[in-house]
Structure 1
Amino acid sequence: MSALTRLTAVETKLFFREPMLVFFVLAFSPVLLVILGAIPTMREPSEDLGGASAISVYVPIIVAMSLAMFALTSLSQLFATYREKGILRRMRTTPVKPGVLLGAQLLMSTVLSVATMLVVLAIARLAFDVSLPRNLPAYLIGYLLAALSVFAIGLLIGSFAPTGKSAGAIGTLSFFPLVFFAGLWVPRVEMNDVLRAISDLTPLGAGVQSLQDAAAGHWPQPLQVAVMLGWTIVAGGLAARYFRWE
């Protein structure tokens, strides 16, 4: 097995040893979807939502929220904790470079987040009769771009947070405005012009719009693609520039 494969397997085992983290990162999004879908009015077509049901509108929002949980409550806190405890420094004395640990965490987070996304889509389809995305390649592209942008933000937080607790606090403070502009409390279609304009410039706002467009059979709009790539390049570049291994 390669070093990346072994580290990914080890990090995955360590991840599943934290029940609360597993619940909030993996299970919370599907549970939230079930709770929302159990409300009868959420399954009824709404004129305010262009004839769509509220639950169908919330599926991309919940998918985006699960990405934010991975990036802001798991990825950022883990690297700050590893640095704080000297794990990254000790890895420098081994043939395995600390950068491989970064790759292992990103690989684990990507695989688990995709699994969560598939579970959400399956629950929405089987339990609440929400149609699967009509343009699957566009959906995957939008999902990948959204994942890259929020993972870059998570790495940026982990690059300058001095401790694991501070990374968790910063991640939590970042989580709520990001999911607000993704439409968790007020769907984007119901936002006023000012809120929607701000949402368009956030990674999850752009991500949700791309997923909704793909669900309707369209490709992501150039603005949303540019916003997600911009967040990825800027946040990822700053994370690479200021990331401290010890």
Structure 2
Amino acid sequence: MVRSQALMELRLLSRNGEQLLLTLVIPLLLLVMGTRADTVVDLGPGRPIDILTPGVLALAVLSTSFTSLAIATGFERRYNVLKRLGASPLPRWGLLTGKVGAVLVVESVQLLVLTSVAQLVGWEPHGGLAAAAWAALLVALGTAAFGALGLLIAGTMRAEATLAIANLVYVVLLVGGGLLVPLTRYPGSSHRFLELLPSGALGEGLRATFAGHAPETHSLAVLALWAVVAGVLANRTFRWE
């Protein structure tokens, strides 16, 4: 049942042009502009493309596993799609798992395209296979955290409220959530707050990984904590209608 649900979710995601714009086109535009990023914001020492690319990958995870998932699920509730699924043998956890499974497939394509384009414009990741393994773990934890948060919002609020909140969170985290700009570049002690957010933890973790270092335990712990807490809340509070 979970496999069938995941395949259906994947077909629905692939047919939605607006969501594809959010999940792939915007990160690609930011990536291509990366070679001139220092003309807009100070990214710190190092080549802008090497600093920006991990952040763009983190943004892709946010856009797919949180914003796109929350909006799609919210409107499925509004149009009674989930109500019909609720009358089937599919359990609540099966619905949530199927949705996250489809998100992981879309993210795999996203990250493959983005990393290929990044290398074409000069990105030079370090760390080899170890970096790839750490990145996979970070993406999995980030997907679980953002996906659970997206389903928590979509499963408890009206579709219009979900649309507004999901887009607002996307813009806020894109601009000042520690995704694209290293936390050390933020003024004062604001970086201590941002490193507690899943966006800050994922962005910093991927930057450290592709710089050739293991991600800090703090980043992994923050993502895991958000994933567990939001996942439990989503499973308990998600309403089919």
Q: Specify if TM > 0.5.
A: yes
Normalised by the size of structure 1, how large is the TM-score?
Answer: 0.86
Among candidates 184, 197, 203, match of residue 202 of structure 1: 197
- Residue identity matched to 1:74: S
CA contact (8 A) 2:66 2:150 kept: yes
State the secondary structure of the residue aligned to 2:134: helix
User: Where does 1:1-246 land on structure 2 (aligned, <5 Å)?
Assistant: 3-37=1-35, 39=36, 49-50=44-45, 52-97=46-91, 99-131=93-125, 133-134=127-128, 135-163=131-159, 165-179=160-174, 180-184=176-180, 186-246=181-241
RMSD of aligned Cα (Å): 2.2
Gaps of 5+ in 1: none
- Residue identity matched to 1:137: A
CA distance in 2, matches of 1:133, 1:150: 26
Q: What whole-Å deviation, never above 9, does each CA across 1:39-80 have from its counterpart, x for those lacking one?
A: 3967xxx9x733x11111011111111111113321112222
CA distance in 2, matches of 1:205, 1:35: 21
Shift in alpha-carbon separation, 1:41–1:242, aligned structure 2, 3 A: closer
Does 232-241 or 7-16 show the bigger shift?
Answer: 7-16
Shift in alpha-carbon separation, 1:40–1:25, aligned structure 2, 3 A: closer
State the secondary structure of the residue aligned to 2:189: helix
Does 114-123 or 8-17 show the bigger shift?
Answer: 8-17
Gaps of 5+ in 2: none
Deviation at 1:192, TM superposition (A): 2.5
- Relative contact order (C-alpha < 8 Å, sep 6+): which is higher? 2
Shift in alpha-carbon separation, 1:92–1:115, aligned structure 2, 3 A: same
Q: What whole-Å deviation, never above 9, does each CA across 1:174-202 have from its counterpart, x for those lacking one?
A: 22332322243x43232234121111111
Deviation at 1:98, TM superposition (A): 5.2
User: May I ask how many residue pairs the two structures share in their alignment?
Assistant: 236
